[in-house]
Amino acid sequence: MEVGISLQEITELRKFGNTILTFSSVNIIVEETFLEIKRKLSPQVISIFLFSKDGFLERYEISGRDRGDVVIEASWLHDERYKPGESFSGKAAFGKPYGEPYWSNQLDKEVDNFTYGKEYSEKLGFLRCGISVPLNGTHRTFGTIEVVNKVNPETGRAHPSLVYSDSDVCWLALVGAHVAAAISRLRKKDEDKIFATIIRVLADPTLEHVPVHTTEESAYKTIANKLVDYLMPYKVCIVRLTFDGQSLFVTNKAHSDGDEKGWLYRVDEPRVIGQKIVGRVFQSGKYEIIEDIEIKEREDEFTNLEWIKSQNLKSFICFPLLILGKVIGTLSLFTGYIHEFTESDIDFLENVSFLLAAFRVRSRRIKEVEIPRDTATTDEIESLYYEKLPRVDTGLKSSNLISPEEIEFLIKEAVDAGISDDDLEELREHLADVRNGRLTEEAPPTVVYQEVEDKYKIRKDCGKEIIISTAPGLDDDFDGAILKEIKRPPSSSSDTGI
Q: Give CA–CA dist 158/127, Å, rounded.
A: 10
Is the bond into 160 cis (omega within 30 degrees of 0)?
A: no
**3-state SS class at 8:** helix
Do 416 and 347 share a structural domain?
Answer: no
Whether residue 128 contacts residue 70, with contact meaning beta carbons closer than 8 Å, is answered with: no
Instruction: Identify whether 1 is part of a domain.
Output: no
Average pLDDT over residues 469-483: 38
Do 125 and 38 share a structural domain?
Answer: yes
Sign of CA dihedral 245, 251, 257, 261: positive
User: Higher pLDDT residue, 438 or 469?
Assistant: 438
Neighbours of 100 (CB within 10 A): 15
- Render pLDDT for 412-438 as a digit per residue (tens, 0 to 9): 666 666 667 777 777 777 666 655 555
Instruction: Identify whether 194 is part of a domain.
Output: no
Amino acid letter for position 207: L
Q: Tell me: pLDDT of 221 over 70.
A: yes
> What is the number of domains present in the chain?
3
Q: Tell me: pLDDT of 37 over 60.
A: yes
Do 416 and 316 share a structural domain?
Answer: no
Instruction: Identify whether 496 is part of a domain.
Output: no
Query: Which alpha helices (H) appear in 54-165, and where do they start and end?
Result: 87-91, 107-110, 117-124
Do 336 and 252 share a structural domain?
Answer: yes
Do 389 and 351 share a structural domain?
Answer: no
Q: Give CA–CA dist 237/331, Å, rounded.
A: 7
Q: How far is CA 376 from CA 193, 380, 384, 388, 483, in A?
A: 20, 6, 9, 14, 14
Q: What is the pLDDT of residue 431?
A: 65
Q: Tell me: pLDDT of 497 over 80.
A: no
Q: Give CA–CA dist 176/34, Å, rounded.
A: 11
Residue 332 belongs to what domain range?
Answer: 203-366
Choosing from 158, 186, 214, the residue where a domain stops is: 186
**Using CB atoms within 10 A of its CB, is residue 323 exposed (0-12), middle (13-18) or buried (19+)?**
buried
Instruction: Identify whether 192 is part of a domain.
Output: no
CATH code for position 56: 3.30.450.40
Do 171 and 287 share a structural domain?
Answer: no
Q: What is the pLDDT of residue 29?
A: 97
Poorest-pLDDT segment among 202-211, 370-379, 394-403: 394-403
Choosing from 186, 211, 238, the residue where a domain stops is: 186
Poorest-pLDDT segment among 142-146, 291-295, 493-497: 493-497
Q: Tell me: pLDDT of 253 over 70.
A: yes
**Mean pLDDT: which of 195-199, 401-405, 481-485 is highest?**
195-199
Q: Give CA–CA dist 482/477, Å, rounded.
A: 9
Whether residue 359 contacts residue 209, with contact meaning beta carbons closer than 8 Å, is answered with: no
**CB crowding 273-304: b at 16 or more within 10 Å, else e:** bebbbbbbbbeeeebbebeebeeeeeeebbbb
Q: Give CA–CA dist 396/400, Å, rounded.
A: 9
Q: Give CA–CA dist 320/333, Å, rounded.
A: 12
Do 361 and 473 share a structural domain?
Answer: no
Q: Tell me: pLDDT of 382 over 70.
A: no
Do 473 and 386 share a structural domain?
Answer: yes
Structure letter (DSSP) for residue 204 = -
Do 471 and 352 share a structural domain?
Answer: no
- Render pLDDT for 149-162 as a digit per residue (tens, 0 to 9): 999 999 999 999 99
* Residues paired with residue 59 on neighbouring β-strands, in sequence order: 49
**CB crowding 204-223: b at 16 or more within 10 Å, else e:** bbebbbeeeeeeeebbbbbb
Q: Tell me: pLDDT of 191 over 70.
A: yes
Query: Of how many residues is the chain composed?
Result: 498
Average pLDDT over residues 346-364: 85
Q: How far is CA 424 from CA 146, 244, 405, 420, in A?
A: 71, 20, 17, 6
φ, ψ of residue 490 to 5 degrees: the values are: -65, 155
Q: What is the pLDDT of residue 426?
A: 72
Please report which confidence band the pLDDT of residue 474 belongs to, taking 50, 70 and 90 as the band edges: very low
* Residues paired with residue 158 on neighbouring β-strands, in sequence order: 151
Q: Give CA–CA dist 324/474, Å, rounded.
A: 9
- Render pLDDT for 105-138 as a digit per residue (tens, 0 to 9): 999 999 989 999 999 999 999 999 999 999 999 8
Structure letter (DSSP) for residue 298 = H
Q: What is the pLDDT of residue 231?
A: 83
Q: What is the pLDDT of residue 393?
A: 31
Do 132 and 55 share a structural domain?
Answer: yes
Q: Tell me: pLDDT of 406 over 90.
A: no
Average pLDDT of the chain to the nearest whole number: 78
Instruction: Identify whether 54 is part of a domain.
Output: yes
Structure letter (DSSP) for residue 484 = G
Instruction: Identify whether 497 is part of a domain.
Output: no
Instruction: Identify whether 420 is part of a domain.
Output: yes
Q: What is the pLDDT of residue 437?
A: 52
Name every residue whose Cβ is closer than 8 Å to that of residue 291 and which is 6 or more positions away in sequence.
315, 338, 339, 340, 341
* Residues paired with residue 315 on neighbouring β-strands, in sequence order: 335
Instruction: Identify whether 491 is part of a domain.
Output: no
Q: How far is CA 360 from CA 381, 442, 473, in A?
A: 16, 32, 14
Choosing from 186, 216, 237, the residue where a domain stops is: 186
Q: What is the pLDDT of residue 296?
A: 77
Do 210 and 156 share a structural domain?
Answer: no
Query: Which alpha helices (H) appear in 392-489, and where do they start and end?
Result: 404-416, 421-435, 450-453, 477-481
Q: What is the pLDDT of residue 32?
A: 97
Do 132 and 18 share a structural domain?
Answer: yes
